[in-house]
Amino acid sequence: MLNRSEWIQVSVSILCWAVLTASILLLNLYVHPLVDSVGYVLLFLASFIAGFVIQDLRYVVIGWVIAFVGSLVIAFCLLSLPLFLGLVVQMSLGQEFYAGIIVMLFRAVFPNIIILSLFASIIGVIVGDRIGI
């Protein structure tokens, strides 16, 4: 069981992991339809550092799920801003707009980024245990 300071550290790490993953995804999706090699390296490093900081495999796996779902929610909300702000003139296009965002996010993250993030965070835990920090 985690004490209060460890719980705060794990929670903040998961939140930062989600925000960083969403920002890397959005950076790549605004430029390319899919994530490029630099995006893969950045996502690997973000997940590796998160696993290294948390250093408990149970919390890393749970945090990976939370961070991944959180990053997709953040990315979806930011990609939907034109519709929320009323910049899409025809409201009948709303359903197609949402469907396009969902398809774009699904194509970008499945399955490569999901697997990469999980394995990078597990490798971060292993390296953190070996070093013993």
The per-residue pLDDT for 91 is 65
If the chain, 133 residues long, is cut into consecutive pieces of 10 residues, what is the mean pLDDT of each piece? Answer: 87 95 92 87 96 93 95 94 78 79 90 94 94 77
Parse the chain into domains and list their residue ranges: 4-131
The per-residue pLDDT for 94 is 75
Query: Which residues, other chains included, contact 128 with Cβ-Cβ below 8 Å and sequence gap of 6+?
Result: 51, 52, 53, 55
The answer to whether the CB of 82 falls within 8 A of the CB of 74 is: no
Tokens of 63: 């945090």
pTM: 0.89
The per-residue pLDDT for 119 is 97
The per-residue pLDDT for 86 is 77
Query: Which residues, other chains included, contact 115 with Cβ-Cβ below 8 Å and sequence gap of 6+?
Result: none
Query: Which residues, other chains included, contact 45 with Cβ-Cβ below 8 Å and sequence gap of 6+?
Result: 120
